Amino acid sequence: MKQAISGTTQLAGVIGWPIDHSLSPAMHNAAYEHLGLDWVYLPLPVQNQMDLARVVAAIRALPFVGFNVTMPHKRMMLELCDEVAAQARLAGAVNTVHVRDGHLMGYNTDGRGLLESLRDEGGFTPEGKRIALVGSGGAAAAVLAALVLERASHVTVISRDPAHAEDLVSRIEAHARDTELVALAMGPENARYIEAADVVVNATPLGRNSGDELPVRAEWLHSGQIVSDMVYRPLTTPLLMAAAKAGAVPIAGIGMLVAQGAIGIEIWKADSTISAPRDVMRAACVAAIGSHGPGPSPAGES
């Protein structure tokens, strides 16, 4: 039975545009019900930066425990927080905000969510490993920051926009004392970096629409690798199918989506005895995908 909303109910939500296909309300509200929390999670459609500032100002005065931020506002949110955690500052984006007495503390749980998914579903830890990261946007930046902090030995950032990849690498390499970073344009020269990688991560939207090209060539994938696709709708992407056919371990984006949301709940609750129910959240996401059908699946939704 769903909990009734009352005068004591606290608020949470996700800010973004568009927001109508977000899975976050389904998975968060399922978690709150499971945990017996008197919270409710709402979609908060905000189209532009001026409106974002107004909504955030209002949130300070409302009974919010926290909120998530998705595209296109993650970078702007960095400037609207009172404090920003080191990993979010390094990533250059905030996707999770803890509200305490009107004070906003910004975090980025995308990279941590991906690493949790890789650990739990693939037995992978980054230290001393080689990663090929395809993409150079906000989701890729969050993953790169997490990999650097966890001491990966080498990360190749591959992008259709090589200048963007170079900017990302140059911004983070000062903090990469244990990690060699390389920026490359997409092309045939990527083969040796993909083949040498312990993990290949797709942080682009390629794969969410039928007819999309693969972010990397199927013949570059092989057994002994883990291939992670941050796209979660569809649940099985062409890249994951190619990985399975090559003998690699495929890891779907829904694991990252659930993990980053679960970490957010644990931040907001600020209680080390509370563990967000990832199995409940995952089931809610799968059910929501089944009921809504195909829709946009931005990498690292929230």
**205 preceded by cis ω (within 30°)?**
no
User: Which residue spans within the chain are E strands per DSSP?
Assistant: 10-16, 39-45, 66-69, 83-84, 96-100, 103-107, 130-134, 154-159, 180-185, 199-202, 226-229, 249-251
74 is catalytic: yes
The partner residues of 130 in beta bridges, in order of sequence, read 154
Per the document, the length of the chain is: 302
Answer yes or no: are the C-beta atoms of 71 and 14 closer than 8 Å: no
Instruction: Kindly give the interhelix angle for 24-35 and 254-269, rounded to the nearest 10 degrees.
Output: 50
**Secondary structure tally for the chain: helices H, strands E:** 11, 12
Q: Which two three-digit tokens encode residue 221? A: 């994938």
Instruction: Report how far residue 143's alpha carbon sits from residue 262's, in angstroms, rounded to the nearest whole number.
Output: 17
The partner residues of 158 in beta bridges, in order of sequence, read 134, 184
Instruction: Report how far residue 229's alpha carbon sits from residue 206's, in angstroms, rounded to the nearest whole number.
Output: 9
Catalytic residue from among 74, 129, 245, 269: 74
Task: Report, as residue numbers or ranges, the catalytic residues.
Answer: 74
